[in-house]
Amino acid sequence: MTTGTRSESEVEEFRVRTDLVVVGASAGGVEALRTLVGALPEDLPAAVVVVLHMPAGGSSALPAILSRSGPLPALAVQDGAELRSGHIHVARPDYHVVVQDGVLRLSRGPTENGHRPAVNVLFRSAALAKGPSVIGVVLSGALDDGTSGMAAIKSRGGVTVVQEPGDALYPGMPESVLQHVEVDHTLPVARIGPLLADIAGESAIQVTIAPVPEALRMEVAVSRDDAGAEFGEIPAIGSPTTYTCPDCAGSLLEIPGNGVQYRCLVGHGWTADALMEAYGGTLERAMWTALRTLDQKASLTHRMANVSRDAGRDLVADRYSRQEEEALAAANVLRKHLLRGGVREETGT
């Protein structure tokens, strides 16, 4: 309940129940999720919403896997579905999940870190819609999706829980949250379920939080596809950079907050780590394209040299042969670099 009137510098006061658990995971997340939901009680007085990074195509078996892993039924999110205590709502492939007006909405809004669904989208919308009623949980995953969302939950008075990095198959996401957010609980995943059972449904909690930042409102609006942020509004939440979006090649804005965040003018969102990884992928694709082009040039110049020699044009043939040698030399250097990079990536050296 908000008490009295307030200015921008004043705070809101609430008495709430912690009745919404939002969980984000990526690589190694299925195993962690199975452990977590296996320890939840069948009478959990909160709804659970799960986002796991997954490919855009096809369907997800995660609801069936989680239903078999514990006493709570798990179901794929339907657009407009009510949040149901004692149920696990699982994001669908290629759709963001947004908490809005007390229900779950599916959105084809812009990707974040190349993902749809994305953890940050769910977490930010939950923080905006439910404030201190939210418990945020980040499990195993690479890179740093979930960090800005957990910062939003923390800023709105919610409870923040992170899997102990040493307990995670992929510690990147938990480590990133711990670096940027003062979390409430850091535990092995086997202990997170019992913790949620203890704190979910707590009532009569007096929480004091600051007014909602305009940047949070805007980023949640960007992720929705029923209304969203209109063109021209996004620049208001960031400052221009010289970087470009890997998804659309548009200019990126730097968004202030916990950790470095970027968003392009049509809404694609990136963290610094994810942006560097995307640039790395773009660079590698360009290098393979260059290698293919050099191989084709070498093959073509070899043929043209033979044709010229057969026609008695030795000077022209020599010129083609030199071009072939140059192309082959460049291709060999590039091929060795690419293959060495692949070995390092696979072996972790």
Quick: pLDDT tens for 62-121: 999 999 999 999 999 999 999 999 999 999 999 999 999 989 999 999 999 999 999 999
Q: Given this model, what pLDDT does residue 32 score?
A: 98
Question: What confidence score (pLDDT) does residue 66 get?
Answer: 98
Q: Please report, rounded to a whole number, the percentage of residues in the chain having pLDDT higher than 70.
A: 88
Q: Which of 180, 268, 232, 197 is nearest to 42 (CA)?
A: 197
| pLDDT over 70 at 263, yes or no | yes
Q: How far apart are CA 288 and CA 292, in angstroms?
A: 6
Q: Two tokens at 234?
A: 């996004």
Q: Which residues contact 214 (CB under 8 A, 6 or more apart)?
A: 236, 237
CATH for the stretch 12-209: 3.40.50.180
The whole-number pLDDT of residue 345 equals 41
Query: How far is the C-alpha of 192 from the C-alpha of 40, rounded, in Å?
Result: 9
Q: Catalytic positions, please?
A: 26, 53, 145
Report d(CA 295, CA 158) in Å as an integer: 57
Task: Kindly state the DSSP code that residue 238 receives in the 8-state scheme.
Answer: S
Q: What tokens were used for 248?
A: 């659309």
Distance CA 330, CA 335 (A): 9
Range 286-294 average pLDDT: 91
pLDDT of residue 6: 43
Q: Quote the pLDDT of residue 205.
A: 56
What is the DSSP secondary-structure string of 25-53?
E-TTHHHHHHHHHHTS-TT-SSEEEEEE-
Confidence band of 249 (pLDDT split at 50, 70, 90): very high
Model confidence over 207-225: pLDDT tens digits? Answer: 666 788 888 888 898 888 7
What's the pLDDT at 311? 94
Where are the chain's structural domains?
12-209, 228-271, 275-347
- Average pLDDT of span 19-45: 97
The helix/strand/coil state of 344 is helix
Indicate the pLDDT class of residue 338, thresholds 50, 70 and 90. Answer: confident
pLDDT tens readout for residues 117-166:
999 999 999 999 999 999 999 999 999 999 999 999 999 999 999 999 99
How much is the pLDDT for 128? 95
| Per-residue pLDDT band at 301 (split at 50, 70, 90) | very high
Q: What is the mean pLDDT of the chain?
A: 89
Backbone angles phi, psi at 129, to 5 degrees: -80, -35
How far apart CA 274 and CA 266 sit, in angstroms, is 18
**3-state DSSP percent of the chain in helix, strand and coil, to 5:** 45, 20, 35
The vertex-56 CA angle with 51 and 62, nearest 5°, equals 45
Predicted local distance difference test score (pLDDT) of residue 16:
79
Cβ atoms 214, 256 nearer than 8 A: no
* pTM of the predicted structure, to 2 decimals: 0.82
Residue corresponding to tokens 């930042």: 213
Cα separation, 77 vs 104, in Å, equals 7
Contact 65, 30 (CB under 8 A): yes
Which range (55-59, 217-221, 224-228) has the least confidence?
224-228
SS3 117: coil
Nearest 5°: the CA angle 291, 296, 297 is 95
Q: What is the pLDDT of residue 258?
A: 61
- pLDDT at residue 8, rounded to an integer: 46
282 pLDDT higher than 90: no
